[in-house]
């Protein structure tokens, strides 16, 4: 048991280091003043990676029971659905989608 | 009446009740913050012009707060790791193990509370700087979203500090009477605290960097 915890604590320190490095990278990249699309993709990818590290190791989600995964999976699905539906409402100028006059008559 | 399944695993869920409970609560929190994040996406993508966020807000202060909150997550998980391996010894009446682990736990939980306090101080410096430049939630959509999202997040930090403060102080008496249950409480309080960290991990790039 004692040995397990020592290994676990080393793991926490490794995650801590990774989170600090990723924070540095995301701030550094922001000073490059990239165009909006790559900046958003890189910024959110780094944030997702950091969030995944915190969730898997600090929140002990790695190796958690299915009764936790199922509600969280459903939540993730609803969360993405919420964002996508909102963005589709702006789809005409975000993605250039055009319905022409299909819905006007 | 005793609360069921605080320490033993419930056969049908495979979890203790507090573990399942905190995750269901956090699922609802994801949707609460999700509604605000999607409002941000809608208002920003629909806006003809948008302020240059890093010129309005202070990136160095927010980066400092990111590091502070991540560090407080590490000390929180260390607070739990100070207790979890010693529950059996404490239950068996090993007073030395009990005192030693409690001291270590209090140190790490104290550091977690300090991290939360530093975060709030930095946040209030940021807020007062905005107010001194006459930048308010009503100034524009971006600032409205900024104050709403960071305000709700700060409220979560405050709530977490109240819970953690109780567990650092009077709540820690449970370590002697019911060590497994107390260690579970720290784990569950930790899962909430890490969630608050995760929300900030997204708020930082979305509001300051992008």
Domains in chain B: boundaries: 54-209
Closest chain A residue by Cα to residue B192: A59
Question: What is the distance between the alpha carbons of residues B92 and B78, in angstroms, rounded to a whole number?
Answer: 23
Report the C-alpha gap between B176 and B99 in whole angstroms: 9
> What's the mean pLDDT in B45-53?
92
Distance (Å) from the alpha carbon of A105 to chain B's nearest alpha carbon: 26
Question: What confidence tens digit (pLDDT) does each residue in A35-83 have?
Answer: 999 999 999 999 999 999 999 999 999 989 999 999 999 999 999 999 9
By CB neighbour count within 10 A (0-12 exposed, 13-18 middle, 19+ buried), where does A64 fall? middle
Q: Are B108 and B75 in contact (CB under 8 A)?
A: yes
What pLDDT, in 10s, does the model give residues B81-130? 999 999 999 999 999 999 999 999 999 999 999 999 999 999 999 999 99
Size of interface A-B (CB pairs under 8 A): 127
A39–B42 C-beta distance less than 8 A: no
CA distance B197 to chain A (A): 8
Q: Residue A7's pLDDT is what?
A: 87
Fold of B54-209: 1.20.120
B136-186 confidence digits (pLDDT tens): 999 999 999 999 999 999 999 999 999 999 999 999 999 999 999 999 999
Taking the whole predicted model, whether its pTM rises above 0.90 is answered as yes
CB distance from A7 to chain B under 8 Å?
A: no
Range 82-101 of B in CB contact (< 8 A) with A: 84-85
Chain A contact for B46 (CB, 8 A cutoff): yes
pLDDT value for A104: 56
- A1 pLDDT tier (thresholds 50, 70, 90): very low
pLDDT of residue A3: 62
Q: Tell me what pLDDT residue A87 has.
A: 83
Q: Is the CB of A80 inside 8 Å of chain B's CB atoms?
A: no
d(CA B70, CA B65): 8
Q: Does B49 touch chain A (CB under 8 A)?
A: no
Contact B194 A78 (CB under 8 A): no
Chain A nearest-CA distance from B198, in A, is 5
Q: Which two tokens stand for residue B175?
A: 């370590």
């Amino acid at each position: 048991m004692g040995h397990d915890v020592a290994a676990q604590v080393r793991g926490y320190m490794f995650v801590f280091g990774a989170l600090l490095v990723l924070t540095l990278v995301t701030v550094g990249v922001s000073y490059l003043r990239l165009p909006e699309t790559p900046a958003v993709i890189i910024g959110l990818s780094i944030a997702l990676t950091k969030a995944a590290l915190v969730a898997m190791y600090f929140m002990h989600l790695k190796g958690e029971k299915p009764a936790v995964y199922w509600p969280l999976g459903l939540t993730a699905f609803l969360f993405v659905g919420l964002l996508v539906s909102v963005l589709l409402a702006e789809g005409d100028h975000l993605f250039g989608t055009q319905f022409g006059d299909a819905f006007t008559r | 009446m005793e609360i069921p399944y605080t320490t033993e695993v419930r056969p049908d869920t495979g979890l203790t009740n507090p573990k399942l409970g905190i995750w269901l609560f956090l699922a609802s929190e994801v949707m609460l913050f999700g509604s605000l994040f999607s409002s941000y996406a809608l208002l920003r993508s629909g806006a003809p012009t948008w302020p240059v966020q890093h010129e309005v807000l202070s990136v160095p202060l927010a980066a400092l707060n990111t590091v502070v909150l991540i560090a407080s997550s590490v000390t929180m998980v260390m607070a739990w790791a100070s207790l979890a391996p010693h529950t059996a010894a404490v239950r068996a009446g090993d007073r030395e193990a009990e005192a030693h682990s409690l001291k270590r736990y209090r140190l790490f939980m104290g550091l977690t509370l300090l991290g939360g306090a530093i975060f709030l101080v930095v946040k209030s410096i940021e807020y007062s700087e905005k107010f001194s430049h006459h930048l308010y939630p009503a100034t524009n959509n971006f600032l409205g979203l900024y104050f709403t999202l960071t305000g709700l997040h700060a409220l979560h930090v405050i709530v977490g500090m109240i819970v953690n403060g109780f567990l650092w102080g009077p709540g820690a008496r449970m370590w002697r009477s019911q060590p497994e249950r107390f260690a579970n409480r720290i784990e569950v309080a930790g899962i909430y605290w890490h969630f608050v960290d995760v929300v900030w991990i997204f708020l930082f790039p979305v509001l300051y960097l992008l």
